[in-house]
Every structure is written in structure tokens, then in C-alpha cells.
């Protein structure tokens, strides 16, 4: 017969082993996070108060002068920041709306769900910079030729060279590559919506839009939180698609914050301290906006 003390000891030992195994599984991820994200972020914060050029081991602390210069004197940085903000707003709303619409459309089908899910997700399997190079060829070679052969004059645009059009070219590539990933998240959430709720709403006389507003959207709010978080972060930190497609041009008309930081650190005057100050500004802006977004969407989540 097992005594209570021995049984209690065995239970504690099992819990201890379970906790130890969990720690061992999480430890590599925490180690990589600490080495490649936490420490560099702290280092960037420290160097943002210096005039370090990235090479000389000797540097001086300059206080908040880098931050003051970025806000007051750096017109290129301000332009890049507002361009990034405009890009983020457009991508945030358009990408989530189209992804949700496609998810609803595909989930409403009784057949071929897997086929359409695969087709729309495939662009996400390519890196964004590869997608940008593909569309660069399409914009500069395919569309002008198509406009002549098919007599579609609106396609004959300077998709990359015109500042008024190049913004939309970047948007097209970003949406083409990112919508499928968000769509899959929305589809997974839609599969968890209890069918009896929609059936009860139909019996009560609710139409499609009323069911969407009052039943479906509240039940998938957790997916909206995730997709909003991912979209905001990816949009604010966009670099590769702009660098591969327009390189911030023509001039600096499509320069985003990350590209401005990159050029400040590596292409212009090797002002690593100043570039780190800009990076910290971007980090703080993204953190504040993300926390607000999570707080707003989390507050609207409901449990099934």
C-alpha cells in the first residue's frame, strides 16, 4: 500500500520533472532571443546617445542631440517616417480586409477549400525580396508590352520611376505576398465559430451582413488581434520590398524609415550613433502603436 507521503513526494517529483523539461525546451529560444534581440536592442539604446561611427573604438556621449537632430533638422527622416506611416495604414486595412474576405469566401465553399487555400498561400512561400524582383520585371517589361498588344493604355505607366505610381507598386507587391498568410489565420479562426450561432441568427431573421457583424467578427476577434499585430509590425519594419523594387526612389520619394536608417549607418557618413537613435525612435513608435492595437482588439474578444 502506498503511503500518502510517498504519493505526495512522487507527485511533486513528476511536476518538477515536467517543469524542468519545459524549461529545457524553452531555453534555446530564450538564449537566441537574449543574444540576438535583447542585447543588440540594449546596445542600440546606449549607442544612440553617442557619436560612434561604427569603426572607431573611441566615441563621445552626446546626450539627446541625435534625437533632437532627427526630429528638428532631418527632413529626410521625417519624410521617410510619414511615408512609412502612410504605407502602414494602407497595408494594414487593405491586407486584412482582403484576407478576411477571401477566408469567408473560401470557407463558404463545400469543395476545393484546400486547392484555393494553397493557391492564395503560395506567394507567401517566396521571400519578399524575390517577389519584388519578379514584379520589377513585370512593371518594367511585361505591363508596357501588354499595354501595346492589348490596347490597355492605363498599363503604360512608369510603375517604378514615377513617384505618384511607385507607392502603389510597392503596395501591390506587399499585398500579393502577404494576403495569403493572413487569410490562413482567418480561415483557422472561422472553422472555430460554432455553427449553431449562425443558425440561430438565421432563424431570428439576420441577413448575411448582420451575421458577419454580430456573430462572426466577435467570434474571430482573436484572429483579428493576431493579424493586426503581424501586419502593423511587418509594415512598419518594411525594408526588402522597397530596397529591391525602388531603392527608395525616385530620389527619396519612396524611402521608408528602415532604409533611411540603413543609409545613415552604411551608405552616407557611417553615423552609427545617429542611426541607432533613429532605430530607437522607430522601436518606441512601433511598441506604443502595437500596445494600443492589442489593448483595443483584446478588449473586444469573446469566448465561444
Give the span between the Cα atoms of 275 and 202, in whole angstroms: 57
251 torsion bin: left (phi>0), alpha (psi -120 to 50), beta (else): left
How does pLDDT run across 129-164, given as a tens digit for each residue?
A: 888 889 999 988 888 888 887 767 777 788 888 888
Q: Which long-range contacts (CB under 8 A, 24 or more apart) does 5-9 make?
A: none
- C-alpha dihedral sign at 155, 160, 165, 171: positive
How does pLDDT run across 159-188, given as a tens digit for each residue?
A: 888 888 899 999 999 999 999 999 999 999
What is the pLDDT at residue 202?
86
Query: Residues with Cβ < 8 Å from 302, sequence gap 6 or more?
Result: 218, 219, 221
Q: What is the mean pLDDT of residues 52-61?
A: 87
DSSP class of residue 111 equals S
Whose CA is closest to 279, among 239, 248, 249? 239
Give the span between the Cα atoms of 61 and 46, in whole angstroms: 9
**Domains contained in the chain, CATH given:** 66-298 (1.10.3720.10)
- For the whole model, what pTM was predicted? 0.88
Give the span between the Cα atoms of 195 and 199, in whole angstroms: 6
Per-position b or e across 67-102, b if 16+ CB within 10 A of its CB: bebbeeebeebeebbebbbebbebbbeebbebbbeb
Q: How confident is the model at residue 80 (pLDDT cuts 50, 70, 90)?
A: very high
DSSP class of residue 22 equals H
CA angle, 40 as apex, 34 and 45 as ends, to 5°?
A: 125
Amino acid at each position: 500500500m502506498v503511503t500518502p507521503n510517498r504519493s505526495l513526494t512522487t507527485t511533486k517529483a513528476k511536476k518538477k520533472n515536467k517543469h524542468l523539461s519545459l524549461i529545457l525546451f524553452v531555453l534555446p529560444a530564450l538564449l537566441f532571443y537574449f543574444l540576438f534581440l535583447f542585447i543588440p536592442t540594449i546596445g542600440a539604446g546606449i549607442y544612440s546617445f553617442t557619436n560612434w561611427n561604427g569603426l572607431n573604438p573611441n566615441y563621445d556621449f552626446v546626450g539627446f542631440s541625435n534625437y533632437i537632430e532627427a526630429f528638428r533638422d532631418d527632413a529626410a527622416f521625417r519624410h521617410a517616417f510619414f511615408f512609412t506611416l502612410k504605407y502602414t495604414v494602407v497595408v494594414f486595412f487593405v491586407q486584412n480586409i482582403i484576407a478576411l474576405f477571401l477566408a469567408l469566401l473560401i470557407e463558404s465553399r463545400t469543395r476545393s477549400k484546400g486547392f484555393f487555400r494553397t493557391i492564395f498561400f503560395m506567394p507567401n512561400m517566396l521571400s519578399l525580396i524575390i517577389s519584388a524582383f519578379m514584379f520589377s520585371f513585370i512593371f518594367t517589361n511585361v505591363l508596357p508590352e501588354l499595354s501595346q498588344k492589348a490596347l490597355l493604355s492605363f498599363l503604360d505607366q512608369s510603375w517604378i520611376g514615377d513617384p505618384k505610381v511607385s507607392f502603389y507598386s510597392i503596395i501591390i507587391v506587399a499585398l500579393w505576398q502577404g494576403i495569403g498568410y493572413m487569410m490562413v489565420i482567418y480561415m483557422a479562426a472561422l472553422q472555430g465559430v460554432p455553427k449553431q450561432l449562425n443558425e440561430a441568427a438565421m432563424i431570428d431573421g439576420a441577413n448575411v451582413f448582420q451575421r458577419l457583424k454580430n456573430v462572426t467578427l466577435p467570434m474571430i476577434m482573436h484572429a483579428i488581434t493576431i493579424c493586426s499585430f503581424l501586419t502593423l509590425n511587418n509594415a512598419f519594419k518594411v525594408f526588402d520590398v522597397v530596397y529591391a523594387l525602388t531603392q527608395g526612389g525616385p530620389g527619396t520619394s519612396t524611402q521608408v524609415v528602415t532604409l533611411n536608417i540603413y543609409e545613415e549607418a552604411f551608405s552616407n557618413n557611417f553615423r552609427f550613433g545617429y542611426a541607432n537613435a533613429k532605430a530607437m525612435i522607430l522601436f518606441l513608435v512601433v511598441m506604443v502603436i502595437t500596445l494600443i492595437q492589442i489593448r483595443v482588439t483584446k478588449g473586444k474578444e469573446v469566448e465561444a
